[in-house]
Amino acid sequence: MQKATQIVEALLFASDAPLTAADLARADASLDEDVVEAAVRALRIEYERTGRAFDVYELAGGYQILTRPEFEPYLERFATVPRPARLSAAALEVLAIIAYRQPIGRAEIEEIRGVGSAGVLRTLQDRALIDAVGRAEALGRPLLYGTTDRFLEHFGFRSLEDLPRPENLPVVLREPAAPEVDAAPPEADAAPDAGAAPAADAAADAAGPSEADAVPADASGAPPAS
């Protein structure tokens, strides 16, 4: 392995959060973003070739070493602390609205959901999944909310582009129609270049919620281990 690759590996190994290519490039004068990206590609190939239990994933615009999904059962059994709490259905609803309509104020969120949402908003803000990003011009200059990098990390998205596209959902804002299928499933070639985030396939798997349930997508560019 080349030295640049090893430097990138050392940083990724030591970090418990995603590091961007720019972050990583700051570590040494020999690095720039292109070198870092090449190093990440080299690492992914190396990890796959040698059957590592982990891989480099793309999250929130950065890179992070995470275990491959097939090791979840062992890790879960080993954990002595409760896993991070999954979000409530109400919290997911509010996040969905904010993610697609940001920046958006509380009143509009409540209008869409038909229920008060102040408590949920506070919880989401406490968990740093959303943040106040500004104020509306409207009366009282209400706060406007947007999603954070933490949001992307939490759901395993590389960027907001990974969110399911409305046109791939069963269309409900027009005539109800048969669920549309993405013309070119990004899953098609999970070749080495696919620095796919863990949940990228969940997003790509936009044909319908039922399918998302049936196929706990885990391929995400991972090699057929074992």
Partner 1 sequence: MEASVAAGEDAFIVELDRFHGPLDLLLHLIREQDIDIFDIPIARITEQFLRAIEGVERLGLDRAGDFLEMAAMLIRIKVRMLLPRRGDEEEEAEDPRAELVRRLLEYEHFREIAQHLEAAERDRLRHAGRGYVPPRPEPAAADAELELVWEDVWAAVLAFAERTRPPAEHRVTPRLVPIEEKIALILDTLAQFARIELHRLVAPYGDRLHTVVTLMASLELARRRALAIRQSEPFAAVWLYRRNGIAANAEGDADR
The site for partner 1 (CB under 8 A) is made up of 13-17, 57, 64-69, 71-72, 75, 78-81, 83-84, 86-87, 89-90, 92-93, 95-97, 99-100, 112-116, 119, 122-123, 126, 153-157, 163-164, 166, 169-170, 172-173, 176, 198-199, 201-203, 205-206, 209, 212-213, 216-218
CB of 35 to partner 1, least distance (A): 23
Closer Cβ to partner 1, 100 or 135, answer by number: 100
Which residues contact residue 206 at a Cβ distance below 8 angstroms, ignoring those fewer than 6 apart? Answer: 164, 165, 168, 169, 182
CB of 138 to partner 1, least distance (A): 20
CB of 84 to partner 1, least distance (A): 7
Closer Cβ to partner 1, 38 or 96, answer by number: 96
Closer Cβ to partner 1, 124 or 144, answer by number: 124
CB of 189 to partner 1, least distance (A): 20
CB of 139 to partner 1, least distance (A): 21
Closer Cβ to partner 1, 6 or 210, answer by number: 210
Closer Cβ to partner 1, 36 or 201, answer by number: 201
To the nearest 10°, the Cα dihedral for 156, 160, 163, 166? 170
Closer Cβ to partner 1, 32 or 108, answer by number: 108
CB of 193 to partner 1, least distance (A): 20
